């Protein structure tokens, strides 16, 4: 089970700086000119996705021995924050994919790693994590999708919903019940590498308030046959732990997105407050605006520090569900608060799609729900805190 994912990954400071500089140039040259058009029209950013593959982002956290960049979570979080400060949706396209890859790299058999990870790393095969069902979101143990053993394979039936990359992706880490009668319920769950094929159909695409240009869709499985070799780890009953283990990286990603949204909202508000004048002076000189900016910059900084605290714990190989939960909870709430305050600073112009700030507000709201609701995060934080501090 041990792999490069479980070891401490590092990167030289100059290498990290060079990579982040390349990301900044790409954002300025390619992303910023396209973001508003793609967001308003809800268009899949095919050209940008190809460019992300060329930069290696689909293999960002995959080990170098499998063709990935092998980046530590700290560097990965910085990349996500940078991109999200201009367009958050792009990061979802490779994050869901990397959670799927992490499940294979951490828990897969040597044969599974050799077969799938190189193709994941290049982006030749792209996809995500298929957990949520119509009646099972935060409570994953309530999933109903079943996988029945049949000869040298399994037959899968059921429906997944709100799956990122569901339309454009070609392969998913699929959580199912291999033993629906198991108690406790999590012991009857297994995780499969599920490429699209006969019996695997895409249902409706969900129209969303924000998080545009990344497809969120329903996946329908009707007597979908899959080889037993695609059972991650080769042993039934390990799926719940395999899936939730990857959520630590996912929550660090969402926290980094929150950092990016909080910092991006602050950037836009800071620029506007120094250009917009009322009563003969820039509004940045009014105390009411300064109070807002002071809170926003503090909130963004605190979110950043919590996020990198969690990422550093992940890189050390430590259990970090509490740290990741704190980072995800605080940073996502910071994104909402900062984007809302920026809307107020922009005033009536914030309600116009000619300005970018309205997108930040629409996108930020999702961060409080995705990768486990913030209500659930607070429960996880409290439970882990109590375990670490028994009387």
Catalytic residue numbers read: 371
Q: Are 259 and 333 in contact (CB under 8 A)?
A: no
Give the tokens for residue 65: 């021995």
Q: CA dihedral in degrees (69, 30, 163, 253; nearest 10)?
A: 50
For helices 73-84 and 13-26, the axis angle rounded to 10 degrees is 20
Q: How many other C-beta atoms are found inside a 10 Å radius of the C-beta of residue 157?
A: 16
Burial pattern 72-104, b for ≥16 Cβ within 10 A else e, equals: bbbbbbbbbbbbbbbbbbbbbbbbbbbbbbbbb
Residues 229 and 111: their CA atoms lie apart, in Å, by: 9
Residues 313 and 80: their CA atoms lie apart, in Å, by: 18
Closest to 324 (Cα-Cα) out of 342, 306, 337, 336:
306
Residue 356 backbone dihedrals phi, psi, to 5 degrees? -75, -25
């Amino acid at each position: 089970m041990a792999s490069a994912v479980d070891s401490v990954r590092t990167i030289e400071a100059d290498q990290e700086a060079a990579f982040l500089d390349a990301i900044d140039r790409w954002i300025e040259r390619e992303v910023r000119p396209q973001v508003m058009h793609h967001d308003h029209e809800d268009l899949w950013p095919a050209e940008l996705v190809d460019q992300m593959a060329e930069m290696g982002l689909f293999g960002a956290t995959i080990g170098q021995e499998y063709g990935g960049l092998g980046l530590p979570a700290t560097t990965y979080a910085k990349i996500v924050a940078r991109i999200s400060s201009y367009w958050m949706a792009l990061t979802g396209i490779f994050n869901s994919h990397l959670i799927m890859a992490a499940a294979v790299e951490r828990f897969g058999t040597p044969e599974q790693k050799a077969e799938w990870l190189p193709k994941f790393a290049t982006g030749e095969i792209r996809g995500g994590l298929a957990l949520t069902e119509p009646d099972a979101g935060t409570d994953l143990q309530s999933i109903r999708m079943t996988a029945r053993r049949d000869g040298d394979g399994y037959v899968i039936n059921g429906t997944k919903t709100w799956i990122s990359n569901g339309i454009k992706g070609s392969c998913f880490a699929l959580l199912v019940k291999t033993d629906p009668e198991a108690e406790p319920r999590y012991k009857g769950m297994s995780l499969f590498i599920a490429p699209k094929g006969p019996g695997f159909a895409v249902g409706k695409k969900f129209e969303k308030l924000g998080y545009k240009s990344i497809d969120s869709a329903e996946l329908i499985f009707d007597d979908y046959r899959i080889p037993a070799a695609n059972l991650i780890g080769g042993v039934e009953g390990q799926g719940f732990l395999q899936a939730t283990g990857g959520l630590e990286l996912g929550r660090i990603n969402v926290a980094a997105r929150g950092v990016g949204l909080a910092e991006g909202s602050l950037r836009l508000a800071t620029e506007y407050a120094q250009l917009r004048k009322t009563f003969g002076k820039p509004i940045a000189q009014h105390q009411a605006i300064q109070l807002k900016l002071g809170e926003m910059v503090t909130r963004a900084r605190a979110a950043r520090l919590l996020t990198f605290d969690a990422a550093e714990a992940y890189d050390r190989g430590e259990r970090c569900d509490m740290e990741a939960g704190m980072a995800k909870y605080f940073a996502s709430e910071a994104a909402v608060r900062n984007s809302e305050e920026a809307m107020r600073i922009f005033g009536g112009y914030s309600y116009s799609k000619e300005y970018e700030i309205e997108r930040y507000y629409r996108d930020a709201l999702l961060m409080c729900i995705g990768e486990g609701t913030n209500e659930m995060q607070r429960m996880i934080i409290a439970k882990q805190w109590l375990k670490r501090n028994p009387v």
